[in-house]
């Protein structure tokens, strides 16, 4: 089956006329039987046998992670090519949007789910490293990180875990530590994100990382080579055995044997990354680069060809020139390794020595390894012997599958009969706010440096010191001589997604809009990281299709583009698939950050509800604490929502608003309580149109709690088609229906219940 290639140590010819399944197993490939037949036909047409290096390269390029072979047909029908009045400047390793007359902002969002399930610290850290590289290789300076995280329930009994499954508390602790250590050490603030819990993430956590950067327009660089004759320069960390078959590992289910794939997890090094980022930006500013791309999934096997083919060319590489961490690595390992902290430059021949000199001045290892050629092929030599020669359009084309799917129910059912009215509403409120799902996440937030670089205008926790409350969005001031800001948030509700993937996705987009509007930002772009189970299962593929259709419909209604993102499939364990999880990151523009408002209750100002509360209790936290199901999940109505959102933003810009908080998980009760954790209470009165528990706990979309500046109450009230005054400040937190008191709580007792759940489980 394998025959040594003459004059090429540790390189073998492979006989594809023998048992293809045995070849796949022996070489550790992820190629499917029909894909191997396609490969066999290609080499038959070439009139030769492939080398093991060539098969490994094709395996990387054709992985689900790299070529989107299951998701591409659905994405082409839905998300790809959406029209928006907001122009996308580029979609490459990161997306590029206009910030102001002189600057673009760059956006990247990726997942690192499978690696984090095996090695939560290393997996999450390298996720941060990868997303930073994506932004840097567009010529942008990273300015903020975002981390949407999803774990199993923290109280999961250990004896219920399947073999090889790590406890959610261990996974969460390791993931947060990895993000903390990497982000803090490279000096980029982690300013936004979310932490969600659901039993179906046990064993397969979702670790999504986003990054935003800023770049002067004339300094933006593309992820493609300049012209024939350009030289490839590999800079940064050395190439080792870490991260081998990383994209293959990410393209299959997790099981008890996945621990053996630990070598697929890359090893991050923020101390190497820091000077590497500065080096990349300096070389770009000096105009010494014709192209730049980071080494991520597939390593050299992907980046070399992609840089060339995106410019209409090919590449020739001398593989023995690559700096290695260990001796005696077989060429195929060098070619597909995903070792971290590596960047690839293309440089004109006359600038090679200058670039290498500057790399040395930053103490960053760099070496020229090849050149751009006219023919659209990847050619790799090893000590003078050709070991790979592949047509780039064949290798990057990849297979495409129109997977069968079973669409879930799109329609929203009728409300079910309401449960018996609670005997003690106060106890029910405490029971809800004591859930880790909605309890304070400051155990996570306080581990991150969210103020490094001094650009964070609104932080993830807001309010008086010692009495901070959660903010809806963070705001960055990216340009020194401008008051314009970027607002960042991330949202999706896995329980709502599980109940109805279409309407759950619509609600997620709307919640992103609400959170940005809460601080005075207008949504400008979205990034999406679509995390689902095994696409070969029709039910999972149906969830994916339903969610993508909602992404299309919501973005069309809001008129925003998806500027960046990825697809992460095969998020399954022996226990089944994760909930369908389209992780969203929203980026908004703020005209003047001095007008932004925070969510903490202030000492003066009446309290208003903007938007309408409905009896939509499906998937609500209230019903879940009671063990109840209801088909009527919250719906979205963008025709009524968008005007209200704009009116709210205008009210904030006109300084009519002193505090604002959106209503989502936990309903109005939780929203009020979170605002009051700043030390100022509220007395809220309902008008009796809905039952009190529905008023308190409904999670209807399109709503905000707004505290209005007393001087502008009249102007504020005239802005909206649906806004009503529901209360005023108080020493305590009081909920009333007419003259009847429903519940009364002190801020001290409620803050204790709200702050401790995660600390008690993880401290």
| pLDDT score for 6 | 86
CATH of the domain at 142: 3.90.650.10
Please tell me whether residues 231 and 314 are part of one structural domain: yes
pLDDT by residue (tens digit) across 591-650? 999 999 999 999 999 999 999 999 999 999 999 999 999 999 999 999 999 999 999 999
| pLDDT score for 163 | 84
- Domain annotation covers residue 718: yes
Distance of alpha carbon 226 from alpha carbon 307, whole angstroms: 9
Please tell me whether residues 348 and 428 are part of one structural domain: no
| pLDDT score for 416 | 82
- Domain annotation covers residue 551: no
pLDDT by residue (tens digit) across 26-55? 998 989 999 999 999 999 999 999 999 999
Distance of alpha carbon 569 from alpha carbon 540, whole angstroms: 10
Would the pTM of this model clear 0.75, i.e. be above it? yes
- Domain annotation covers residue 46: yes
Name the catalytic one among 65, 103, 198, 503. 65
Range of the domain at 25: 2-64
- For residue 49, the SS3 value is coil
What are the angstrom distances between the C-alpha of 137 and each of 254, 563, 580?
A: 31, 16, 31
Q: Is the dihedral of CA 263, 264, 269, 270 positive or negative?
A: negative
Nearest residue to 725 (alpha-carbon basis) of 757, 666, 684:
684
Joined tokens for residue 54: 């060539």
Please tell me whether residues 424 and 335 are part of one structural domain: no
| pLDDT score for 256 | 47
Active site (annotated) includes residue 112: yes
| pLDDT score for 252 | 47
SS3 content of the chain, % helix, strand, coil (to 5): 35, 25, 40
Please tell me whether residues 317 and 357 are part of one structural domain: yes
CB 355 within 8 A of CB 417: no
| pLDDT score for 255 | 52
Q: What is the dihedral of CA 276, 281, 283, 284, to 10 degrees?
A: 140
- Domain annotation covers residue 466: no
Please tell me whether residues 653 and 603 are part of one structural domain: yes
Please tell me whether residues 167 and 57 are part of one structural domain: no
- Domain annotation covers residue 464: no
Cα–Cα–Cα angle for 390, 47, 33, nearest 5°? 70
- For residue 51, the SS3 value is strand
- Domain annotation covers residue 719: yes
Please tell me whether residues 339 and 431 are part of one structural domain: no
| Rg of the chain in Å (alpha carbons) | 27
Positions of the chain with pLDDT under 70? 1, 243, 245-266
Please tell me whether residues 160 and 261 are part of one structural domain: yes
Please tell me whether residues 393 and 420 are part of one structural domain: no
Strand order across the beta sheet in which 562-568 lies: 456-458, 474-476, 485-491, 581-590, 522-531, 562-568
In degrees and rounded to multiples of 5, residue 300 shows phi and psi of -60, -35
Q: Where are the beta strands (DSSP E) in 355-398?
A: 366-373, 377-382, 385-391
| pLDDT score for 261 | 47
Please tell me whether residues 331 and 419 are part of one structural domain: no
Please tell me whether residues 315 and 347 are part of one structural domain: yes
CATH of the domain at 28: 1.10.8
What are the angstrom distances between the C-alpha of 354 and each of 221, 315, 347, 360?
A: 19, 22, 10, 10
Please tell me whether residues 155 and 293 are part of one structural domain: yes
Residue that is written with structure tokens 């399954």 in the block = 572
| pLDDT score for 1 | 65
Joined tokens for residue 20: 């293809």
Q: Domain total for the chain?
A: 3
**Helix-helix angle 270-285:352-361, to 10 degrees:** 140
| pLDDT score for 575 | 86
Active site (annotated) includes residue 503: no
CB 571 within 8 A of CB 583: no
Name the catalytic one among 103, 112, 198, 450. 112
Q: Which residues contact 135 (CB under 8 A, 6 or more apart)?
A: 93, 94, 106, 107, 108, 142, 211, 212, 213
CB 747 within 8 A of CB 681: yes
- Domain annotation covers residue 409: no
Domain boundary among 64, 97, 115: 64
- Domain annotation covers residue 556: no
């Amino acid at each position: 089956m394998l025959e040594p290639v003459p004059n090429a140590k540790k390189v073998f010819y492979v006989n594809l006329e023998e048992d293809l399944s045995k070849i796949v197993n022996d070489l550790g490939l992820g190629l499917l039987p029909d894909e191997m037949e396609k490969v066999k036909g290609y080499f038959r047409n070439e009139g030769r046998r492939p080398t093991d290096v060539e098969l490994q390269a094709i395996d990387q390029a054709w992985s689900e992670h790299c070529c989107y072979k299951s998701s591409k047909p659905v994405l082409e029908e839905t998300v790809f090519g959406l029209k928006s009045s907001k122009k996308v400047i580029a979609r490459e390793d990161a997306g590029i949007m206009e910030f102001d007359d002189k600057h673009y902002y760059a956006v990247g969002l990726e997942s690192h789910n499978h690696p984090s399930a095996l090695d939560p610290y290393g997996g999450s850290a390298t996720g941060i490293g990868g997303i930073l590289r994506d932004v840097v290789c567009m010529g942008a300076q990273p300015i903020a990180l975002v981390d949407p995280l999803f774990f199993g329930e923290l109280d999961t009994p250990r004896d219920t875990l399947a073999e090889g499954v790590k406890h959610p508390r261990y996974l969460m602790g390791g993931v947060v530590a990895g993000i903390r250590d990497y982000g803090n050490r490279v000096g980029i603030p982690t300013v936004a994100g979310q932490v969600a819990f659901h039993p179906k993430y046990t064993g397969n956590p979702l670790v999504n990382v986003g990054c935003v950067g800023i770049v002067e327009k004339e300094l933006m660089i593309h992820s493609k080579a300049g012209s024939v004759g350009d030289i490839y320069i590999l800079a940064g960390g050395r190439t080792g055995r870490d991260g081998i078959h990383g994209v293959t590992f990410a393209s299959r289910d997790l099981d008890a044997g996945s621990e053996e794939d630990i070598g697929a997890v890359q090893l991050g090094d923020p101390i190497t990354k820091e000077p590497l980022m500065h080096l990349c930006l300096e070389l770009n500013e000096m105009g010494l680069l014709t192209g730049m791309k980071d080494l991520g999934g597939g390593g050299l096997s992907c980046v070399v060809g992609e840089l060339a083919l995106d410019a209409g060319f090919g590449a020739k590489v001398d593989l023995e020139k690559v700096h290695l961490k260990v001796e005696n690595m077989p060429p195929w390992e060098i070619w597909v390794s995903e070792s971290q902290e590596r960047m690839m430059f293309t440089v004109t021949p006359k600038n090679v020595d200058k670039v290498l000199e500057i790399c040395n001045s930053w103490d960053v290892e760099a070496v020229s390894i090849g050149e751009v050629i006219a023919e659209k092929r990847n050619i790799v030599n090893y000590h003078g012997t050709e070991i790979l020669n592949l047509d780039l359009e064949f290798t990057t084309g990849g297979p495409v599958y129109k997977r069968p799917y079973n669409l879930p129910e799109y329609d929203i059912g009728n409300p079910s009969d309401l449960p018996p009215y609670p005997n003690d509403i106060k106890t029910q409120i405490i029971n809800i706010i004591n859930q880790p799902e909605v309890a304070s996440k400051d155990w996570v937030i306080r581990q991150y440096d969210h103020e490094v670089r001094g650009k964070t205008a609104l932080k993830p926790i807001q309010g008086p010191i010692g009495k901070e409350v959660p903010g809806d969005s963070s705001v960055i001031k990216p340009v020194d001589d401008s008051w314009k800001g970027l607002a960042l948030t991330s949202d999706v509700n896995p329980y709502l997604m599980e109940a109805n993937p279409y309407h759950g996705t619509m609600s997620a987009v709307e919640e992103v809009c609400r959170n940005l509007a809460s601080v005075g930002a207008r949504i400008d772009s979205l990034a999406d990281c679509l995390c689902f189970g095994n696409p070969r299962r029709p039910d999972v593929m149906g969830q994916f299709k339903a969610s993508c259709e909602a992404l299309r419909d919501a973005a069309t209604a809001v008129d925003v583009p998806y500027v960046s993102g990825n697809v992460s499939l095969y998020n399954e364990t022996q226990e089944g698939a994760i909930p369908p999880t389209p992780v969203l990151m929203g980026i908004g523009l703020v005209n003047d950050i001095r007008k932004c408002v925070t969510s903490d209750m202030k000492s003066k100002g009446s309290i208003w509800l903007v938007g309408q509360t409905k009896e939509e209790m499906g998937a609500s936290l209230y019903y879940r604490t009671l063990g109840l199901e209801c088909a009527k999940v919250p719906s979205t109505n963008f025709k009524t929502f968008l005007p209200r959102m704009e009116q709210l933003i205008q009210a904030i810009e006109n300084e009519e608003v002193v505090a604002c908080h959106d209503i989502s998980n936990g309903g109005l009760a939780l929203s009020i309580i979170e605002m009051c954790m700043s030390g100022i209470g509220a007395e809220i009165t309902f008008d009796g149109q809905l039952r009190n528990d529905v008023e308190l706990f409904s999670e209807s979309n399109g709503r905000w709690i707004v505290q209005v500046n007393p001087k502008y109450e009249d102007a504020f009230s005239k802005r909206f088609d649906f806004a009503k005054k529901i209360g005023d400040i108080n020493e305590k937190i009081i909920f009333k229906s007419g003259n009847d008191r429903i519940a009364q709580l002190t801020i001290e007792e409620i803050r204790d219940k709200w702050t401790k759940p995660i600390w008690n489980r993880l401290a």
